């Protein structure tokens, strides 16, 4: 059997996250069911990481093995014929070495968060965006974002159920950008704790909305106290954009 890498995109709105669960719909569950129809036996998926309930992906990376003789282009078409109706799409397939693992070989991950910051929008535009009715100051937000760059203990922004042994993570890039009626927050890190990105965004937005000092954010980060984090931002506006490999 050959190992296949797949770049996939999905709308996470109707799923209880990426990772398979016995009684709830998940992205992994849908893909494994589709592979079962083609492979005639279970094909276990490995991913670059889990996304939470409601979170989307533009380029998630997964691997799997199949034992049927089929060209990759035909396999892609067959999988999309099944998956597209479930808001999942295979973007690309290629063979990789058996030693490759999408999670452990990943160097960096990029997420983006979409904030709708205008009253002039269509109802469906808030479907994958977080609406904030106060005009946001991007300069203030970016001063807070700069504080994230480097190696930090992110205990403050970790979920209480996160079982990671270390809460230290390295952030390579973090910036807010204006795009029409939207403000997009982009962040690139070595890896992220459970719900870390949404907790960071929720805290920064709350500080900006309440006109608090940007140094409040730095104090909260350095406190390593989860109770000081503000409301976690909604999942519907978060996207896994890209996974970086050597």
Question: Catalytic positions, please?
Answer: 52
Rg (CA), the chain: 19
In this structure, the number of other CB atoms found within 10 A of the CB of residue 245 comes to 13
89: alpha, beta or left? (left if phi > 0; alpha if psi -120 to 50): beta
Query: What distances in angstroms separate CA 7 from CA 22, 81, 92, 97, 171, one per listed residue?
Result: 24, 16, 5, 16, 24
Distance CA 171, CA 141 (A): 16
CA distances from 152 to 174, 205, 242 (A): 14, 20, 22
How many Cα atoms sit within 13 Å of 211 on the Cβ side? Answer: 2
């Amino acid at each position: 059997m050959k190992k296949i890498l797949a770049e996939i995109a999905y709308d996470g709105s109707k799923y209880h996250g990426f990772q398979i669960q016995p009684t709830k719909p998940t992205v992994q569950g849908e893909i494994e069911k589709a592979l079962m129809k083609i492979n005639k036996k279970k094909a276990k998926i490995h991913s670059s990481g889990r996304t939470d309930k409601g979170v989307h992906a533009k380029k998630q990376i997964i691997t799997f093995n199949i034992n049927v003789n089929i060209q990759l282009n035909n396999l892609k078409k067959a999988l999309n014929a099944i998956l597209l109706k479930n808001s999942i799409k295979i973007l690309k397939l290629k063979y990789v070495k058996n030693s490759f693992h999408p999670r452990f070989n990943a160097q960096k991950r990029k997420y983006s968060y979409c904030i709708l910051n205008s009253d002039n929008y269509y109802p469906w535009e808030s479907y994958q965006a977080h609406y904030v009715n106060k005009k946001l100051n991007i300069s203030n937000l970016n001063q807070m974002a700069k504080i994230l760059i480097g190696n930090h203990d992110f205990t403050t922004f970790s979920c209480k159920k996160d079982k990671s042994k270390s809460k230290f993570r390295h952030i390579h890039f973090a910036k807010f950008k204006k795009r029409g009626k939207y403000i997009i927050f982009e962040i690139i890190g070595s890896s992220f704790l459970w719900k870390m990105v949404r907790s960071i965004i929720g805290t920064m937005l709350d500080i900006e909305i309440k006109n608090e000092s940007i140094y409040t954010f730095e104090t909260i980060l350095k406190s390593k106290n989860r109770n000081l984090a503000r409301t976690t931002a909604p999942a519907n506006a978060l996207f896994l954009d890209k996974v970086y490999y050597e």
